[in-house]
Structure 1
Amino acid sequence: MAETVVQADHEPGAAPAPPPRGRPGRRTVLVASALVVVAAVAVAGALGLGGGGAEKGSSAPPRSGSTVPVTRTTLAERTTVDGQLGYGTEIPLPVKATGTVTWLPAEGTTVERGGTLLRVDDRPVVLLHGTLPMYRELGLTTGTRQGTRQETGAEGDTRDSGGRGRTDETSGAPDPSGSATPGGAGTGAGGTAGTLRGMDVLQFESNLAALGYTGFTVDEEFTDLTARAVKRWQKSLGLPQTGTVGIGDVVYSADKVRIGHASVRLGSPATDDALTYTGTSRKVVVTASAAEDSWAVRHTAVTIGLPDGTSVKGEVASVGKSATAPEEGGGEGDSAAPTVPVTITVNDQKSVGRLESAPVTVEYVGRERADVLTVPVAALVALAEGGHGLETADGRFVAVKTGLYADGRVEVSGSAVREGMDVRIPE
């Protein structure tokens, strides 16, 4: 049964009855309440009620703890995204040779200018450098042959009917005693009505000269001297020395290539997609959100994080112009945004080591604020009247306006904030 306590009125002048044993007296409750009120007031004072940017006094003594100076620096907002290291997307080689594939290179092989990409009917298909595709046969035309009046002397020598333009068939160098200029044998400087001309001729002759087969003028005219150099080139390849370059004999690319996978096997008919290739430099491809790709601008510097924890410098080389929608079937509520591919080049290929393919991270700088006052984010305190402030080393509070947050620091400004002042990091 619960005990009922009844407090009776005491007579005037009599001592008050002691409180029941085991229950705190009312006086104790009042004292405790007063202490709570005092503590609340002290806390409100410490939080700097009545802000406004000026320094505020505080009756509380300075508290112990670490202090840091306000520093002036540049803040940069850095974002990290995932990427894939590799050689880029494989592209089909524009092979135009027809016949049976009799030899294929191993995947990953690097082919340079003058190298063999594959063999069709046991004839090499040679890589040359250029951007214009091979679209016609290159050689002397009927008009050129009819307009060339030549007589053959000793082996390897050729003279026109006037005894000019003598050329050594082996070296390709014009005879110093002759008066004709290179490229003018037979056709002359202007050539005849049937001379083959065009930018594709210039591109081919540039490659022929780069491979060491000279003795002609590198221009837009395919002359008899060009044909002689072609014969020497064909001899080195083990081909019939016709002086004519077939449409399937060469393939052009901007630079040396790295062989990808083959879509045909030995003994199969050659097709225009028989081989794929990539460049020989490793690069990184990032699938960036189309809504957040403002950082992806050509020549923008980025930092690539490798699997071993090291980092290398990269540069944005290209940004896709078509956004790709996310794949369907991502689940209910899938709100993935369309993406664009961003290709990043690595200038120092040695810095990547032996890695040929690996997942990597790419860090880029978004917003940036130069020459601003900053403090560690941990130094900010919330003011009772709203906003943020800083506690000075002597226990005062100053209101500040915050800006960019980056690298664990925050931009601060205000009339009471200056470079070098010490602020406390709250415990």
Structure 2
Amino acid sequence: MRAVKVALALVVLAAGGFGAARAFPGRAAPAPVAKPSLTVATVTRADLADSRIMPGTLGYGAGVTVRGSGTGIVTQLPKAGTTVRRGKPLYRVDDQPVVVLFGRTPLFRSLDKPGLTGRDVAELRENLTLLGYASHRVRDNDVLDSGLLDAVHKWLEDLDLAVLSPARAVVLDGPGRVSALTARLGDPAAGDLFTVTGTGKVVTVPMSATDAAGVRVGTAVSVELPSGGTIPGVVASIATATEAGADPAQAAVTIKVSATKQDAAAVQVRFTGQVRKQVLTVPVGALVALREGGYAVQKRDGSLVPVKTGMFADGLVEVDLLPEGLEVVTTP
């Protein structure tokens, strides 16, 4: 009978203990912790390119300021966007046209007397020949002979000009377009009039002289437009600080690009340097720095495998001494 009472007491105590546990849930046993899952990558072959992206400006490039000469008042100016053409009037002074010649020697005197010689004479002969006013050369190319004078007179007659003087002609490097006006109607002719750029679209990329030293003329680049598309480009020129007249630590890279409807925009230019074809790669996050120096990768079982690293690009790193297809642990 006593054994039965003890058994009943134990049952009651057990029941009381269960009730106490339910009354204080904070004392329940902790839930099991889930094991963290591993992020795994595979050793694969890929092409790596050492590239960098730099901001640039799409437009028509740096402009050249056109300055008039002689006395008189500006009576007509070209509109922005006007195409500059050889032998055609570009603006007017005292209601007389000022025509364009292409070359590198400014017109510094009136070319109206036979026997004059010089680079300006040779330049005039070349321009008139290309304009369809070919002259029979009596002597040298740089001599203002009777044949060239006849061609000049015929050209001036067609332009309704009396004489070819520095005030009636402006010499530019080549074809271009008027980008912006500096002068206004009524200003003196001898002053800055407007800015002329090239006719082709270019991208200008300012960069440090150190970065520019690694760029070569003729290098192919990729230009990312604001719309998200890309167009190919080629490095056309690299202006040093001396040439640009700017900070010695700075330079400007000009890139020719294919046709695009945008006249001006902020763009991103991708310069590609060294290219490694079909090398073994892993994500950079898979590298483990070793205490003794160098790197290793970790396999699924936790073991480390030392590796030799090569090029880093686009979040990947070139590795050696690993089999293709090996799974390695990496950061998420």
TM over 0.5: yes
1:261-315 alpha-carbon deviations (Å, 9 max, x no partner): 3333223321242222122222222221344433333333322111111112223
Specify which of 35, 39, 44 is matched with residue 70 of structure 1: 44
Paired with 1:386 and 1:104, the residues of 2 have a C-alpha distance of: 70
In the alignment, structure 1 residue 363 sits paired with structure 2 residue 279: no
**Deviation at residue 103 of structure 1 after TM alignment:** 1.2
Check the 8 A contact 2:238/2:254 in 1, yes or no.
Answer: yes
Cα shift readout 1:332-367 (whole Å, capped 9, x = no counterpart)? xxxxxx75231322242x1x22x2221111221355
Q: Does 1:265 align with 2:238?
A: no
Provide the secondary structure at the position in 2 that maps to 1:93. strand
Provide the rounded CA distance (Å) in 1 between the counterparts of 2:211 and 2:265: 24
What are the Cα deviations for residues 393-425 of structure 1, in whole angstroms up to 9, with x where unaligned? 7876421122321012101123xx24x343334
* Alpha carbons 2:41, 2:327 under 8 Å: kept: yes
Q: Indicate the SS of the match to 1:222.
A: coil
Q: 2:82: which partner in 1?
A: 109
- Per the alignment, do residues 246 and 382 of structure 1 end up closer, same or farther by CA in structure 2, a change over 3 Å counting? closer
Equivalent in the alignment of 1:122 = 95
Give per-residue Cα distances to partners, 1:207-260, cap 9 Å, x unaligned: 1011111242382121112111111111111223xxx52122221112112113
TM-score by length of 1: 0.61
RMSD over aligned Cα atoms:
3.0
Partner of 1:82: 55
1:231 is paired with a residue whose SS is helix
Structure 2 unpaired stretches of 5+: 1-16, 21-36
Query: Which structure: greater helix fraction?
Result: 2
Shift of 1:378: 4.2
Q: 1:221 to 1:375 in 2, by over 3 A?
A: same
For residue 210 of structure 1, what is the aligned residue in structure 2? Answer: 130
Distance in 2 between residues matched to 1:254 and 1:248, nearest whole Å: 18
Supply the distance in 2 between the matched residues of 1:104 and 1:133 (Cα, whole angstroms): 20
Larger Rg: 1
Q: Is the contact made by 2:125 and 2:135 (CA closer than 8 Å) also made in structure 1?
A: no
Q: Secondary structure at the match of 1:105?
A: coil
Residues 117 and 66 (structure 1), Cα distance of their counterparts in 2 relative to 1, 3 Å cut: same
Q: Is 2:199 the counterpart of 1:280?
A: yes
Say whether residues 1:406 and 2:313 are aligned partners: yes
Name the CA distance, whole Å, in 1 between partners of 2:64 and 2:173: 13
For 1:370 and 1:132, how far apart are their aligned partners in 2? 50
How far does the alpha carbon of each residue in 1:97-151 deviate from its partner, in whole angstroms, 9 at most, with x for none? 421212111122111111211111222111111111112221224xxxxxxxxxx
Change (3 A) 1:65 1:306: closer
Gaps of 5+ in 1: 1-20, 23-62, 142-194, 326-337
The residue type paired with residue 222 of structure 1 is L
| Amino acid across the alignment from 2:201 | R
Query: Which of residues 304, 310, 315 is equivalent to 2:229?
Result: 310
- Counterpart CA distance in 2 for 1:208 and 1:308 is 45
- TM-score of the superposition, structure 2-length normalised? 0.76
**Partners of 1:262 and 1:66 in 2: how far apart?**
62
Structure 1 residues 79 and 140, CA gap change in structure 2 (3 angstroms): same
